[in-house]
């Protein structure tokens, strides 16, 4: 179902934001909760740092998760390609 953009209210690190997105409100809330949880976690592990620095460290932390996941995905794709090639080779050889 085409929905267009919707606005969802979320609370991140104690402040309410209105997020306008193509994603449905449940997804927006899930993403906001992920950011909120990381911010509180980073804030607890780094005493007395500003919200600005907490948010930047959170962005870096999530970017690292994102890059790690991209790398894992690439390795999986390469593994599937290798396996597929070897299965095709086996099937081809079995014909003779």
Residues lying near its own copies in the complex (CB under 8 A): 12-13, 17, 19, 21, 23, 27, 30-32, 34-35, 38-39, 50-52, 55-56, 58-60, 62-67, 69-70, 72-73, 76-77, 80, 87, 91
Smallest distance, its own copies to C-beta of residue 2, A: 18
Closest CB to its own copies among residues 4, 50: 50
Question: What is the SS3 assignment for 14?
Answer: coil
Contacts 24+ apart (CB under 8 A), 12-18: 12/36, 12/39, 13/39, 13/40, 13/43, 13/51, 13/54, 13/55
């Amino acid at each position: 179902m085409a929905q267009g953009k919707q606005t969802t209210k979320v609370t991140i690190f104690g402040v309410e934001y209105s997020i306008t997105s193509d994603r449905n409100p449940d997804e927006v809330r899930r993403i906001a909760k992920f950011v909120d949880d990381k911010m509180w976690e980073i804030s607890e592990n780094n005493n007395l740092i500003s919200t600005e620095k907490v948010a930047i460290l959170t962005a870096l932390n999530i970017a690292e998760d994102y890059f790690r996941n991209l790398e894992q995905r690439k390795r999986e794709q390469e593994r599937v390609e290798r396996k597929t090639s070897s299965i095709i080779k086996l099937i081809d050889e079995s014909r003779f």
